[in-house]
Each structure stands twice: as structure tokens, then as C-alpha cells.
């Protein structure tokens, strides 16, 4: 409720109904009393949630009758302090239509002011130190408002009433480019971009690296300096019409682009779009967003072109957000810095989404625009912190029935990212007054998140198996505790038997689970090397299917001697752990189809296999389901069929489509077998493989055709970004509040 204009809204509503009383912020949300005619009070209660401001979320209204005090007027009173904070801090929100109109109005006193905002938009989470959300507890504390801004801030009838970042050119933050400030800084930065420069641009939650998107030399320079081989860059288009020229947008994608969260939306690239080849050299999709801050609006308008707008970091490091650190880390990448003097308190990357056929968003990275929005828990939790997984890491703090999942932290594989996790946990614990009694972690002992958890003193450590956390996250998000059947497909997760799981069929709920099926196991030749070199998985799967050393497939360009060596490794138990990973099966098929023998970023082979899968109505490859127990998805016949088709010259697009159809059909069949056996009607689909929209929608449709209800992640990513919330839900169910 706080920071979204709720108190002035209440003040106006009470005035319309001639009610007395007061409204205030406290650590738990918004407290108010109204006094007056009984009919007017009833009307007030009915209208209160229905007409709330655009950024407000009214979860419930609780009321109780009080003896009249004789209050004839209604007042907004000072925030109350004391007690444990439960107030919901708002996420940062894109510039609203009213502020945008003022931004480009030459007659307005904030014309072209890069920090225009009101109670309906602007920075929130990234500038707040604590609650209540008042200006002294934000990074705006050092900017004293001028008399006109102060008058707006104190007028309940003004849309800037208690807008904590309220400012104007006379009293607020200023933008700087080199030695130039203010209006000249934006003009100079735009000119530099048009001339081919790469700039570091300070946004809401950190620095971006920007260049003109159709400037091949500039994009190539950025890619080389950032040490980012092939992973696509995000784009920021000036407006919706420009975005339509870059990617194919349906109504669902356009709604996501225009939403107040302003995420990066993945969509199929449009032929002939003005984008340099180096923006996304191997991807059929482009990630596009629209401007979400006034500074972005002005910069895009001045440049007059779409910009690359990628995270300000070197690959695998957290996004830079502190000015000195940004200059130190980005100086060798950026030709110049467009910055400002409003500090960022908490770094936050851009969120990334896809649109599903159902119209619901498929979150791939939940960050700016959604964080720190809370999620309910279906059971009471003791005060806890859940430390998440290793890749796409997030953490979660929780108490009672409330959980707060962090912004995207990154891959926890270096000290910089671990420090970002530590900083974020400390901030969330303070912000939401959570003093953990429990710390929850993954089973894997070598994850940095596990080590961090076990280093914490004075708390009870709880270990949660990776795929159980995926199952629990989806159930808890939907307000359920289970039991349900779970098809949990991803790349890697340590199983309770010490092997590498990833193609799992589970039955269970929040408190516990049973592994009742899985993908047929194979060796992972070379361990983690096989993740970076999918041809190794093709070798392992072919050998498993044939029962002997396989010949080198025609579409895999590796040396014969390396292929034979890898076949030998896959027959041994040295440097070749057992895995049931569905992600690695997708890698194997991508390699056999000739799409990708080696990857430069996580998930690349599977993403390219999905993009290639065209041709609706193709017959699936054979992928039989052995009802067991345990239920086994036997991909060996499918692998042999893929290899035959590839050798016969069948188009990779047909191979990809037939393989997707096979996995979808087998998954639905296995879930049906288990649901009937266990007497259940709910199926959970989760794990990073279900970022694949084609597979997800196909399995949901087939499960529904069998009379079962499918639950899929909607408010959290299906990938490891949701693990921390699942860990919290499991710990809550086991321990109670």
C-alpha cells in the first residue's frame, strides 16, 4: 500500500462521503478510521478496494466497529513507528501517462526533466532503505524539496502527495555526461550514441551498456569488450510501433510490453528488422522492452533509434549499481558514462518474460517491476531465509504466511555474486523485519548458497532437495499444499541417492515427496564439460541406445578420436556420473540434429531446438513409458530415430518438432499413469525445461485432455529463480510457524 498514493485516495474518498477520521502508514500497511453516517461508512468500505490507485494491491479489508469520537474532518496523519514491519514495499514502476505528458510538454515546469515521477510511477524498491516508506528512508533524503515541490508533496489533492522521489530541475537529481550536466548531457549522450559509441547508462536498478542496435560495429565492439560470445543482447525500442518492426507481437506480448513492469519480452524476430547481426547471432527470438524511466524516454527520443540495452557488467558478474564501482568495472567497456546523482540502494536487473498461448506470462527472470512484491504461503512459516540454488539464483525471506522472493541475483559461481546475495539478504531481513530462526538450502554441498547457509550462526539449517523445491514452489504459489503428481524437468539437481537428477516424476506435497519415476538414466561424460559440449550427450545417449560404441553422426563436427574417447568415458564410471537430466536429453537431440555441438551460455542448445521446431501435426518419435514402478520415460528409441532421420537428411526443423511431440506425449502419459495409481487429479509442471513454451503448452493441453488439472508457475519462473520460494514453503510445512 505504501508509496502508491493510497492515503490521498482515502482522503478524497472520505471527503466525497463527508466522513471524519484519519489515515496513516505504519509498519504493517495502512491504518484508517472513518466516522459518520452508517450508509456513508458502508459505501466507503465497498468503494475502498474497488477504486484503489493503479499501483495499489488491496489483498483484504478488515474492519471493526468503534465508538464515535465526534471527528468531523478527515486527516492524513504522520506515519506511526514501532512493531514489526509487514508493510509491502512497492516495486519500481514505469513512467505513467500523466508524467509522460508533462515530460514532453514545453509549458510544464518539468519539461524534459529525467526524474519526473508521481505516486502512480517511478522508483520505489531500488531507493528505499526501510519502512515506513517515507522520504528520510530513501536515497532522496539528501534532496531538499523546493517550495513548489513541497506544496505538491503536502497537498492531498495532488497526485504527488507524499510521492517520496518528488523533485524538479530546481531541487532534484541532475543528469551528467562527462563534464556536461542537465539538458546538454542528454543531447551529448545521444550524439555519442548516434556516432557509434558504447555508453554506460545509469538506470533505476543499475547501469546498462547501450549502443545503437543497427550499428554493426558498435554492437560487435560491445560484445567483444563485454566478453559475451553469443548470448543475445536486450533491446529498448522507442515505442510500441518500433517494437513491432523488430519482433512479431500478438496481443499478449503487447500487453506485457506496455505493462507497468516494463519487462524484456521475448518474441520471434521479424524479417528485415533493423538490428545488427551481432545483437542475437544464433537466436530466432529477440528480447525487446520499452522505456520505463523518464531518462530512457528522453534518450530514446533524442537518438531516434532502438538501442541495445544490456546489463552493465562483465559476463557472469552482478550488474553494477554504485557509481564508483561502475566506473571501475565498466571503464574498459564504455566510451562514456551517462549518470546522475540519485543513489541506487539496491541493484535490480530487468525482468524477462514470454507470453504463453493462454495469455498468461511465462516469467523467465523475475526482477525489476515485480520485486519485492510478496507471495502468500499456504502454511505458517517461522522466520526464515531460503538461499536458493546456484544458477539463476534468488533468495527468499519469510515469516507467518508471507514470503518475499528477491530480485534475480545471477549465477552463484564467483565471489562478486555471493557478495550480492549477502547484501540482498541483509537488506530484505531489515526491510521486512525477519530475524531468521531457520536457514534453508539445497542438498548440494558445493553450491555457494549452501555454504553461505551453513556459515550462518544461531539458526537451524534445513536441507531441501532441488526438485522437491520446484514442486513445492508451484503448489504454494497456487495456495496448495498437495499431494500432486509432479513432472519436474531441468538440467541439474542433486538427488537423494547422490546422482544427478533432472527428468523427475514425483508424488508429494510441501512436507515431503516420493520419487516415483524418471527419465532413463545415462552417463554424463566429462561431468560439467558435457553441459558446455552437447555432442558429448549425443554420444552418451547413442551408446546407451545401441548398447555399443556408436559411429560418429554426420552432423556432429568433432574429431573421430575425440568421439571414440568420449564413448569410452561414457562406458566407465570415471568422470561420468549418472544423470536423468531432461535438459541434457534436449542437448543431445540438438547436437544430433546439427543445431548445436557446443554452447556458449546455459540453455542455448535447448532454446535453439525449440526455435527450430516448426511443423504442427508431425508424428512424434517413439518415447515409450514403462509403467514400472518406477515409471520410466525411455528416450532410447527416440534417440535412435533422431539419429536415423539426421543421417537420412531430414530437416532439423522436422526432427525438433517430432522430438517435442514425443516428450510432450510421454510426459502426459506418465502423469496420467501416476495420477490414476495414486488417486490424484493435479499435475505440477516445473523446472527449467518448462521455460520451453512449446513443450509447456503441449503438455498442459494433453494433461487437460486426460481430465487432469495442470498447475504451472505463473508468478515465479519455472527455472531455478523459484527454488528459494519452494525451499521456504517446504521448511514452513515441516516446521510450522
Domain ranges of the chain: 6-76, 175-340, 373-478+720-735, 485-711
Q: How confident is the model at residue 9 (pLDDT cuts 50, 70, 90)?
A: confident
* pLDDT at residue 292, as a whole number: 97
Q: At what angle do helices 582-592 and 534-546 cross, to 10 degrees?
A: 90
State in Å, rounded, how far the first CA of the chain is from the last one: 25
- Beta pairing partners, 209: 200, 310
Which H helix or E strand runs over 361?
strand 361-365
Neighbours of 396 (CB within 10 A): 31
Say which DSSP state 378 is in: E
Cis peptide before 541 (omega within 30 of 0): no
User: Strand (E) positions, 443-528?
Assistant: 460-464, 484-494, 500-508, 513-519, 522-523
Identify which of 190, 200, 196, 424 has the alpha carbon closest to the alpha carbon of residue 310.
200
Percent of the residues in the chain that have a pLDDT greater than 70, as a whole number: 97
- In CATH terms, 175-340 corresponds, of 1.10.150.170, 3.90.870.10, 1.10.10.2160, 3.30.390.30, to 3.90.870.10
Q: 310-327 b/e with 16+ CB inside 10 Å = b? A: bbbbbeebbbbbebeebe
**Fold designation for 6-76:** Alpha-Beta Plaits (3.30.70)
Class of domain 373-478+720-735: alpha beta
- Say whether pLDDT at 316 is over 90: no
Q: What are phi and psi of 685, to 5 degrees?
A: -115, 115
CATH, range 485-711: 3.30.420.40
- Phi, psi at 352, each rounded to 5°: -130, 130
- Closest C-alpha to 208, from 432, 42, 368: 368
What's the predicted TM-score (pTM) here? 0.92
pLDDT attached to residue 358:
76
Residue 357: the pLDDT is 78
Instruction: Report how far residue 405's alpha carbon sits from residue 727's, in angstroms, rounded to the nearest whole number.
Output: 11
Q: Output the pLDDT for position 78.
A: 74
Question: Is there a common fold for 373-478+720-735 and 485-711?
Answer: yes
- Which is nearest to 196 in space by CA: 337, 338, 335? 335
The pLDDT tens digits of the residues spanning 572-631 come to 888 999 999 999 999 999 999 999 999 999 999 999 999 999 766 789 999 999 998 999
If we measure between CA atoms, which residue out of 210, 540, 205 comes closest to residue 367? Answer: 205
Task: Please indicate whether residue 588 or residue 156 has the higher confidence score (pLDDT).
Answer: 588
What's the 3-state SS for 508-564? Answer: ECCCCEEEEEEECCEECCCCCHHHHCHHHHHHHHHHHHHCCCCCCCCCCCCCHHHHH
- Cα–Cα distance, 606 to 695 (Å, whole number): 11
Angle at 412 between CA 407 and CA 416, to 5 degrees: 85
Residue 675 near residue 648, CB atoms below 8 Å: no
What is the tens place of the pLDDT at every residue in 663-709?
Answer: 999 999 999 999 999 999 999 999 999 999 999 999 999 999 999 99
Q: What is the DSSP letter of 189?
A: H
Residues 562/618, Cβ–Cβ less than 8 Å: no
Label residue 140 exposed, middle or buried (CB < 10 Å: 0-12, 13-18, 19+): buried
Amino acid at each position: 500500500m505504501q508509496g502508491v498514493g493510497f492515503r490521498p485516495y482515502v482522503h478524497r474518498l472520505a471527503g466525497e462521503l463527508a466522513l471524519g477520521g484519519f489515515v496513516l502508514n505504519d509498519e504493517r500497511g495502512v491504518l484508517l478510521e472513518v466516522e459518520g453516517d452508517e450508509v456513508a461508512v458502508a459505501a466507503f468500505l465497498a468503494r475502498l478496494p474497488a477504486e484503489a490507485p493503479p499501483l495499489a494491491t488491496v489483498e483484504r479489508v478488515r474492519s471493526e466497529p468503534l465508538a464515535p469520537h465526534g471527528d468531523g474532518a478527515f486527516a492524513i496523519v504522520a506515519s506511526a513507528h514501532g512493531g514489526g514491519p509487514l508493510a509491502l514495499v512497492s516495486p519500481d514502476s514505469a513512467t505513467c501517462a500523466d508524467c509522460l505528458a508533462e515530460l514532453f510538454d514545453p509549458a510544464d515546469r518539468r519539461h524534459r526533466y529525467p526524474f519526473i515521477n508521481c505516486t502512480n510511477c517511478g522508483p520505489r524498491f531500488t531507493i528505499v532503505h526501510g519502512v515506513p516508506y517515507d522520504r528520510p528512508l530513501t536515497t532522496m533524503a539528501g534532496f531538499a524539496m523546493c517550495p513548489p515541490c513541497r506544496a505538491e508533496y503536502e497537498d492531498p489533492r495532488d497526485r504527488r502527495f507524499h510521492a517520496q522521489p518528488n523533485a524538479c530541475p530546481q531541487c532534484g537529481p541532475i543528469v551528467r555526461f562527462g563534464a556536461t550536466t542537465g539538458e546538454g548531457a542528454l543531447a551529448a549522450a545521444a550524439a555519442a550514441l548516434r556516432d557509434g559509441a558504447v555508453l554506460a547508462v545509469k538506470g533505476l536498478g543499475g547501469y546498462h551498456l547501450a549502443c545503437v542496435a543497427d550499428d554493426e560495429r558498435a554492437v560487435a565492439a560491445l560484445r567483444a569488450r563485454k566478453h559475451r560470445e553469443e548470448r543475445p543482447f536486450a533491446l529498448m525500442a522507442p515505442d510500441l510501433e518500433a517494437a513491432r518492426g523488430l519482433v512479431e507481437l500478438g496481443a499478449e506480448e503487447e500487453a506485457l510490453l506496455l505493462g507497468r513492469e516494463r519487462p524484456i519480452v521475448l518474441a520471434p524476430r521479424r524479417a528485415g528488422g533493423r538490428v545488427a547481426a551481432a545483437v542475437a547471432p544464433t537466436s530466432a527470438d529477440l528480447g525487446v522492452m520499452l522505456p520505463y524511466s523518464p531518462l530512457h524516454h528522453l534518450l530514446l527520443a533524442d537518438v531516434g533509434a532502438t538501442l541495445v540495452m544490456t546489463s552493465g557488467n562483465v559476463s557472469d558478474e552482478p550488474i553494477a549499481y554504485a557509481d564508483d564501482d561502475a566506473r571501475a568495472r565498466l571503464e574498459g567497456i564504455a566510451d562514456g558514462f551517462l549518470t546522475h546523482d540519485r543513489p541506487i540502494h539496491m541493484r535490480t536487473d530487468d525482468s524477462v518474460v514470454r507470453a504463453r498461448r493462454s495469455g498468461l506470462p511465462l516469467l523467465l527472470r523475475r526482477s525489476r517491476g515485480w520485486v519485492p512484491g510478496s507471495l502468500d504461503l499456504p502454511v505458517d512459516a517461522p522466520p526464515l531465509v531460503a538461499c536458493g540454488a546456484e544458477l539463476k539464483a534468488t533468495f527468499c525471506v519469510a515469516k507467518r504466511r508471507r514470503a518475499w522472493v528477491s530480485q534475480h541475483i545471477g549465477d552463484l559461481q564467483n565471489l562478486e555474486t555471493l557478495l550480492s546475495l549477502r547484501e540482498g539478504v541483509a537488506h530484505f531481513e531489515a526491510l521486512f523485519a525477519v530475524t531468521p530462526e531457520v536457514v534453508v538450502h539445497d542438498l548440494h554441498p558445493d553450491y555457494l548458497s549452501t555454504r553461505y547457509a551453513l556459515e550462518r550462526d544461531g539458526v537451524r539449517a534445513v536441507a531441501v532437495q532441488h526438485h522437491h523445491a520446484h514442486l513445492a514452489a508451484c503448489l504454494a504459489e497456487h495456495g496448495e499444499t498437495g499431494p500432486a503428481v509432479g513432472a519436474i524437468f531441468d538440467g541439474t539437481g542433486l538427488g537423494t541417492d547422490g546422482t544427478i537428477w533432472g527428468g523427475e516424476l514425483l508424488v508429494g506435497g510441501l512436507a515431503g515427496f516420493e520419487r516415483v519415476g524418471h527419465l532413463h538414466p545415462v552417463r554424463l561424460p566429462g561431468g560439467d564439460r558435457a553441459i558446455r559440449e552437447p555432442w558429448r550427450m549425443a554420444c552418451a545417449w547413442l551408446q546407451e541406445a545401441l548398447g555399443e560404441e556408436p559411429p560418429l553422426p554426420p552432423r556432429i563436427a568433432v574429431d573421430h578420436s575425440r568421439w571414440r574417447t568420449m564413448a569410452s568415458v561414457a562406458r566407465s564410471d570415471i568422470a561420468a556420473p549418472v544423470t536423468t537430466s531432461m535438459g541434457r536429453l534436449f542437448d543431445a537431440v540438438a547436437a544430433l540434429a546439427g543445431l548445436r555441438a557446443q554452447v556458449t551460455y546455459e540453455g542455448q542448445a535447448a532454446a535453439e531446438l525449440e526455435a527450430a521446431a516448426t511443423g504442427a501435426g508431425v508424428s512424434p518419435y517413439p518415447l515409450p513409458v514403462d509403467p514400472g514402478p518406477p515409471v520410466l520415460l525411455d528416450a532410447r528409441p527416440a534417440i535412435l530415430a533422431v539419429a536415423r532421420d539426421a543421417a537420412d537428411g531430414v530437416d532439423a526443423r522436422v526432427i525438433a518438432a517430432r522430438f517435442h511431440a514425443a516428450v510432450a506425449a510421454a510426459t502426459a502419459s506418465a502423469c496420467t499413469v501416476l495420477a490414476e495409481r495414486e488417486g490424484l487429479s493435479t499435475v505440477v509442471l516445473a523446472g527449467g525445461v518448462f521455460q520451453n513454451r512449446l513443450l509447456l503448452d503441449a503438455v498442459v493441453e494433453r494433461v487437460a485432455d486426460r481430465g487432469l488439472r495442470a498447475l504451472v508457475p505463473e508468478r515465479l519462473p519455472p527455472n531455478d529463480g523459484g527454488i528459494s520460494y519452494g525451499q521456504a514453503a517446504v521448511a514452513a510445512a515441516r516446521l510450522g510457524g
